Chain A
């Protein structure tokens, strides 16, 4: 059973819309949660981290965490074509080990 699950997509949104990316995880003891963006042919780039329940905003990005539901999401407001990438959800469930989801491909149509 996968420990971090994401919809593989592709998720397609028009430019200027809100893109909503979701992730669920299995380990209730998880404490640290991350979203990475990966452009084709590039390595993952950290865009958001969240550690407590609720929302965390950074520019056009908002991460949401609900530990009771074991659910993490990423909202991208005013989506731009440059946001088109694969978004990886990552959860630190064990000491020194981070588990990555398979990623959701996002396409933002101009």
Chain B
């Protein structure tokens, strides 16, 4: 397994501001994933982040709204830009390890007022 940490664990933000979420893994991984989970819903993949290349975004998510950095094999950030109350959600980073198993960080609970 992997030990994945995220910062911040939660935040309350004002409409129109931006928040950057950090994800740190205790081992080197090729790919990191960012998910959103809205209340009572399942996981929605936002984007896949590879080290050294631009992130690949899923349908409905754009780089201007959710810019991602992946400076090395153990770290990634997701920024939620120009936030609105609809962005209130839990944001999770995730990695693939052996045999496609996927592990999740503890999540960042975001509330936008």
Contacts and interface: CB of A to CB of B under 8 A. Distances in A.
Interface of A: 31-32, 34, 41-46, 49, 51, 88, 90, 92, 96-98, 100-103
A49 B97 CA distance: 12
B42 A92 contact: no
| 7 shortest interchain CB distances as A-B pairs | A43-B104, A32-B100, A102-B42, A100-B43, A43-B107, A92-B100, A100-B42
Interface string B41-52: 111010010000
Contacts of A97: 45, 48
A4 to B, nearest CB: 9
Given A88-B42, A100-B43, A102-B41, A43 B105 contact: yes
Given A100-B42, A101-B42, A103-B42, A46 B106 contact: no
A46 B104 CA distance: 9
Contacts of A96: 31, 48, 96
